[in-house]
């Protein structure tokens, strides 16, 4: 066990750090660009410099880096204020699915443009009637010659409004049990019949969408895996989701809580001296550090060649409620000033508030806390599944509510 860099890793780190020092985006670079344009500019710069998607094969724009090298790169890259979220789904989740389930031709066609940021992808899974019960999705795909015709509605699709392509899971056979009648495809988001409507969130932002498909035609070659194998394909994506959106992330954290507690007072003494405050901060640190080292252990397993397992669900399961709690705690320390809204407030109250408002979404997106807890109970601890009312029943005979 060694938490320090090996000599080779130290060399890699210094190369990464040197490149970042030379090439990071300056305020000048970002002048007049919106967030998406900044993200694309940064992604292209990394791609040209050989630092995009470094874990991928060189022929797709990567550099065949190891799991540990990816962590080192992430650490060095994140020492700067860099945009990334526009590409997480495409690069972190859909690209591994394309590599596993699509053709060499499409790997060659799509992956380099995913790496360079030229094309953005979205994940079309959830539907109004299938969230946690993802396999209950109803969007239809019907074969018509060498093409498939898609009809239905997706929802909560992050980034659909600026995506070029998507990965969609559809129902191709409603007469078999629900997991067996699914098929996955690539889809051109600019195709005729695709309509995207942003959803305004409680934060006021609109990061995700409803997406309607009306007689959208896609070639059979866009199919991922066999007809009826859509659930297995979706699991590849979801496995990688655990790694892509895992723990950590920006926002309210222990250093912010300490900074605030050192600045404000409780009973005319610095709040940091209050033992209840100290106990809370200690507990948050236990979670934060635990997640960090848990991530390192998962990467050790990855670098030994193990697949990301269900135990990685804990990153999001712990991280999202922790973000909510610590944000709320930071606001409490500010007393009535904790309620003030804005970005330029003293003590970074804005950061705490953004986390407080965003955290409920994180606890739901990519598998709710409850689903993640089920995954741990059933797939890690081996406990029995809940009895399922739809088990073994043809999908079109499963009871539905309103």
Partner 1 sequence: MNFEFSEEQLMLREQARGFLSQHCPPTLVRKVFDSEQDYDAALWQSIAEMGWTATAIPEAYGGLGLGYYELAIIAEELGRAVAPVPFSSSVYLATEALLAFGSEAQKERWLPSLATGECIATLAHAENAGQTTAKSLRTSFSDTSLNGIKKPVADGTTADIAIVTAAAGDGSVTLCLVELNQDKVSRSAIQTLDFSRGHAMLEFDNAAAEALGEGTVAWSSFEALLDRAAVLMAWEQLGLADKALEQACEYAQQRYAFGRAIGSFQAIKHKLAGMYVKNALARSNAYHGAWALSSNSDTLPLAAATARVASIQASLNAAQENIQTHGGMGFTWEFDCQFYYRRAKLLSLAIGSERHWQDRLVTALEQQKPEAA
* Chain residues that interact with partner 1, rule: CB under 8 A: 1-6, 9, 68, 71-72, 254-255, 258, 262, 272, 275, 278-279, 281-283, 285-287, 289-294, 296-297, 299-301, 304, 311, 314, 317-318, 370, 373-374, 376-378, 380-387
Render the burial of 315-350: b for 16+ CB within 10 Å, e for the rest: bbbbbbbbbbbbbbbbbebbeeebeeeeeebebbbe
Looking up tokens 């912010």, which residue turns up? 256
Backbone CA torsion sign across 189, 89, 395, 172: positive
CA distance 237 to 167: 10
Whichever of 134 and 298 has its CB closer to partner 1, that residue is 298
Q: In angstroms, what is the minimal distance from the CB of 4 to partner 1?
A: 7
Whichever of 192 and 279 has its CB closer to partner 1, that residue is 279
**Element (H or E) spanning 374, and its range?**
helix 369-375
DSSP string, 63-113: ----HHHHHHHHHHHTTS----GGGIIIIIIIHHHHHHHS-HHHHHHHHHH
Q: In angstroms, what is the minimal distance from the CB of 196 to partner 1?
A: 36
CA distance 338 to 231: 45
For 101-188, strand residue ranges (E) read 121-124, 140-144, 147-158, 165-171, 182-188
Whichever of 63 and 285 has its CB closer to partner 1, that residue is 285
Q: In angstroms, what is the minimal distance from the CB of 69 to partner 1?
A: 10
Whichever of 342 and 387 has its CB closer to partner 1, that residue is 387
Q: In angstroms, what is the minimal distance from the CB of 385 to partner 1?
A: 7
User: Does 241 participate in catalysis according to the annotation?
Assistant: yes
Burial class (CB in 10 A: 0-12, 13-18, 19+), 150: buried
118, 241, 311, 378: the active-site residue: 241
CA distance 316 to 11: 32
Whichever of 190 and 304 has its CB closer to partner 1, that residue is 304
Q: In angstroms, what is the minimal distance from the CB of 151 to partner 1?
A: 35
Whichever of 182 and 302 has its CB closer to partner 1, that residue is 302
Render the burial of 102-135: b for 16+ CB within 10 Å, e for the rest: beeebbeebbbbbbbbebbbbbbbbbeebbeebb
Q: In angstroms, what is the minimal distance from the CB of 273 to partner 1?
A: 10
Burial class (CB in 10 A: 0-12, 13-18, 19+), 144: exposed
Active site residues: 241
């Amino acid at each position: 066990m060694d938490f320090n860099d090996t000599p080779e890793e130290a060399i890699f780190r210094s190369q990464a750090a040197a490149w970042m020092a030379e090439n990071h985006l300056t305020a000048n670079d970002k002048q007049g660009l919106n967030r998406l344009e900044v993200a694309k500019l940064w992604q292209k710069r990394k791609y040209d410099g050989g630092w995009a998607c470094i874990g991928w094969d060189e022929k797709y724009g990567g550099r065949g880096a190891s799991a540990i090298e990816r962590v080192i790169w992430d650490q060095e890259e994140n020492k700067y204020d860099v945009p990334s979220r526009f590409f997480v789904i495409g690069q972190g989740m859909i690209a591994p699915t394309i590599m596993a389930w699509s053709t060499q031709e499409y790997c060659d066609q799509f992956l380099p443009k995913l790496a360079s940021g030229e094309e953005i992808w979205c994940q079309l899974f959830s539907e109004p009637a299938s969230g946690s019960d993802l396999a209950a999705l109803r969007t239809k795909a019907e074969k018509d010659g060498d093409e498939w015709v898609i009809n239905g509605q997706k929802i909560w699709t992050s980034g659909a409004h600026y995506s070029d392509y998507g990965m969609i899971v559809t129902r191709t056979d409603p007469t078999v049990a629900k997991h067996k009648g699914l098929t996955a495809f690539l889809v051109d988001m600019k195709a005729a019949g695709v309509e995207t409507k942003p959803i305004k969130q409680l934060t006021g932002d609109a990061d995700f969408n409803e997406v309607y498909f009306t007689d959208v035609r896609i070639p059979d070659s866009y199919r991922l895996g066999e007809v009826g194998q859509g659930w297995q394909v979706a699991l590849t994506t979801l496995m990688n989701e655990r790694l892509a959106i895992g723990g950590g992330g920006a926002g309210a954290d222990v250093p912010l809580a300490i900074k605030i507690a050192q600045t404000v007072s409780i009973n005319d003494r610095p709040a940091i001296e209050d033992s209840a405050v100290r106990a809370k901060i200690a507990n948050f640190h236990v979670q934060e550090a635990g997640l960090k080292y848990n991530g390192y252990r998962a990467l050790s397993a990855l670098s030994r060649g193990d697949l990301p397992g269900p135990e990685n669900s804990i990153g999001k399961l712990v991280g999202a409620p922790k973000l909510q709690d610590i944000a709320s705690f930071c606001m409490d320390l500010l007393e009535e000033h904790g309620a003030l809204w804005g970005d330029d407030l003293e003590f970074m109250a804005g950061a705490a508030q953004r986390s407080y408002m965003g955290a409920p979404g994180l606890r739901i997106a990519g598998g709710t806390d409850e689903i993640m807890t089920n995954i741990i109970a059933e797939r890690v601890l081996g406990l029995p599944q809940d009895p399922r009312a739809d088990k073994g029943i043809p999908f079109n005979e499963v009871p539905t509510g309103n």
